[in-house]
């Protein structure tokens, strides 16, 4: 079966711009989580959506937002980009959450210049 698909794979944006990242989960998976990975901080939880509702949110500023559609596909938006937002953004899907395990996509590498 198809895995978790993230688009685009690479992105270069200018400081101050906004960006939207997309994640298509495994068919049947209703939980989608987003993570930011940097060399200094490691993997940091952004938010989790389940059946179109945000179930939990990490400690990130309001510039980071997301949503989930009725087909479970999810988008993440970052407004007013800062240099420090440069990171690998990972999406993970699960049937229903932690106890079912998470399947990660290959990520979107965002570079802010």
98 sits near other proteins (criterion: CB under 8 A):
yes
Question: Residue 8, preceding bond cis, omega within 30 degrees?
Answer: yes
Interface residue with other proteins, options 14, 53, 59, 70 (CB under 8 A): 59
Region of 13-21, 66-74, 77-85, 101-109 interacting with other proteins (CB under 8 A): 101-109
- DSSP run (H or E) holding 91: strand 87-94
Measured between alpha carbons, how far is 74 from 65 in angstroms, rounded to an integer? 11
User: Count of residues binding other proteins (CB under 8 A)?
Assistant: 25
87 sits near other proteins (criterion: CB under 8 A):
no
Q: Return the percent helix, strand and coil in the chain, to nearest 5.
A: 5, 55, 40
Residues at the site binding other proteins, with contacts judged by CB under 8 A:
4, 33, 35, 41-45, 48, 55-59, 90, 92, 98-99, 101-107
């Amino acid at each position: 079966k198809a895995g978790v698909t993230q688009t685009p794979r690479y992105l270069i944006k200018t400081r101050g711009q906004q960006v939207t990242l997309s994640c298509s989960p495994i068919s049947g998976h209703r939980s989608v989580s987003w993570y930011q990975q940097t060399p200094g901080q490691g993997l940091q939880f952004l938010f989790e959506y389940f059946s179109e509702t945000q179930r939990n949110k990490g400690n990130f500023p309001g510039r980071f937002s997301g949503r989930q559609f009725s087909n479970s596909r999810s988008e993440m938006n970052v407004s007013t980009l800062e240099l420090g937002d440069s990171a690998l953004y990972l999406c993970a899907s699960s049937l229903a959450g932690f106890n079912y395990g998470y399947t990660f996509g290959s990520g979107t590498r965002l570079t802010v210049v």
